[in-house]
Amino acid sequence: MKSLAKRKDSLADPKNQLALFNNGIFANGELPTFKQKVSESNQYPLKPNKLEVFQVNLGYMCNQVCAHCHVDAGPDRKEIMTTETMQLCLDKLKESGATTLDLTGGAPEMNPNFRWFVEEASKIGIQDFIVRSNLTILRANKKYYDMPEFFKKHNVHVVSSLPFYKRGKTDKQRGNGVFDASIEALKELNKVGYGIEGSGLKLDLVYNPSGAFLPGNQTELEQEFKTALKEDFNITFNQLFSITNLPISRFLEFLVASENYEDYMDELVDAYNPAAVENVMCKNTISIDWNGDLYDCDFNQQLDLKVATKGKHISEFDVEALSKRQIIVSQHCYGCTAGAGSSCQGTVV
């Protein structure tokens, strides 16, 4: 449908994104909807397993404007979680039974109360405390220079985006100078012990493809990254998470503008893997946006698809009700179930 590239309505609007899904190639019967595909393997409706991951988005403000960003983050975004909502998250985390706290953004470090939240959250004693950093924020301003030491003090598990181990691909996806700033940040993290064997300080990297194609084998990519970063910069890290770009927000705009939408959706559908459905992240995760609203995942967050329970805000958080909910799905969910599957923790199969 080449005419998609000429559409006038903004794909930044979640309603327009869903309309494209519902009225585009799927509605024509050219491809089975995600619901139909999951039903074929008797896996619909999707129901949650035990809640393990409490994912909190501290705001959409970011020092970067990345081509693949699924929350459309950038310096001009003003949505920031307040301390009142942060406190609600801390209170509900304690009663949730979740073993992982996952802080994301935007650049979560740019929330003015980020340090307070990390300090308070670290007192709860969860098993895995993740902060997702874009790396460049750690070198963007002197007020962030001590962040590696701050992370170490609170035993934070740092998960950082690095599109590639070469400057060209990284800067093309994230902006000029991003690669060099990322390398400097990784060196600073290594300096305090992150990614160093035996330190107990975990540093994981995230890889996203730079175009309209699925990521390669995660194990092979991890070895490539480790070899290149060690040889070129003497940088070490623990694991590489390979994540599929989902056709929403900025990446959807790219697909439509470049006339790759049809081909990419065909590729996702053709690569659908029923085994990946069993381990999609929405089954063990609850996602909370900057305003405190609840979602099955942070991709549904961008599409404004709130959880299918009566209580849709952190103030109404109910573990039992959430455990009985039906997970909301749409065509973008093909991205999490293609090939080896995709989640915030990398492949799932």
Give the pairing of strands 157-161 and 203-207.
parallel
* Mean confidence (pLDDT) of the chain: 92
Per-residue pLDDT of the chain (349 residues; tens, 9 = 90+): 444 444 445 787 888 888 888 887 887 778 899 999 999 989 999 999 999 999 999 999 998 887 777 788 888 999 999 999 999 999 999 999 999 999 999 999 999 999 999 999 999 999 999 999 999 999 988 999 999 999 999 999 999 999 899 998 888 878 888 999 999 999 999 999 999 999 999 999 999 887 889 999 999 999 999 999 999 999 999 999 999 999 998 889 889 888 999 999 999 999 999 999 999 999 999 999 999 999 999 999 999 999 999 999 999 999 999 999 999 999 999 999 999 999 888 898 8
User: What was the pLDDT predicted at 8?
Assistant: 42
The DSSP symbol for 325 reads P
The CA dihedral of 40, 211, 204, 54, to the nearest 10 degrees, is: -50
Q: Which of 346, 339, 196 is CA-nearest to residue 272?
A: 339
Domain boundaries, the chain: 2-336
What the block records as the tokens of 26 is 């799927």
* Sequence letter at residue 27: A
Using alpha carbons only, what angle is made at residue 135 by residues 157 and 54, rounded to the nearest 5 degrees? 40
Which CATH architecture group holds 2-336?
A: Alpha-Beta Barrel (3.20)
User: What was the pLDDT predicted at 9?
Assistant: 54
